[in-house]
Amino acid sequence: MSTTITERRNNLRIVCNYPAIVEGIDLQGKPYEENAKLANLSAGGLYMWINRNIVCGSKISVTILFSDTPIDINTPKIATKGILLRNEPQTNGTYGAAVKFVNYRFL
């Protein structure tokens, strides 16, 4: 007997390790900016590792820097706006955060 696993995602994901900057408003209404690291990326969203516990459903902005080297002004970037779908605590104190894009643009 063979089992077939069906992929539920609409978009293919690219495994990556790009740095990102996450911006949003916390529960106290204060703006924050946090560094993150992407785990994967697709046309519809991303999954990242972040040190902040963000509330699911929050609107956030994520700027993705397409470089593994120190950042300079010429580093290609994408600015995204999205909704946090999932925020999973990890054993090392970080969080795995899934974001669905509302829109994005190349910088």
Name the DSSP class of 98: E
What is the C-alpha to C-alpha distance for residues 39 and 99, in angstroms, rounded to an integer? 12
Whether 8 is in a domain gets the answer: no
The pLDDT value recorded for residue 28 is 84
Could you list the beta-strand ranges (E) of 1-107: 14-15, 19-25, 31-41, 45-50, 59-65, 77-89, 95-106
pTM summary value: 0.85
Whether 80 is in a domain gets the answer: yes
Whether 61 is in a domain gets the answer: yes
For tokens 């795995």, the residue is 96
The pLDDT value recorded for residue 4 is 41
Model confidence pLDDT, tens digit, residues 28-79: 889 999 999 999 999 999 999 999 999 999 999 999 998 876 666 788 999 9
CATH code, domain with 40: 2.40.10.220
Provide the number of structural domains found in the chain. Answer: 1
Model confidence pLDDT, tens digit, residues 79-92: 999 999 999 999 99
Report CA 75 to chain centroid distance, whole Å.
Answer: 18
| Token pair recorded at residue 94 | 């970080």
What is the domain range of residue 85? 14-106
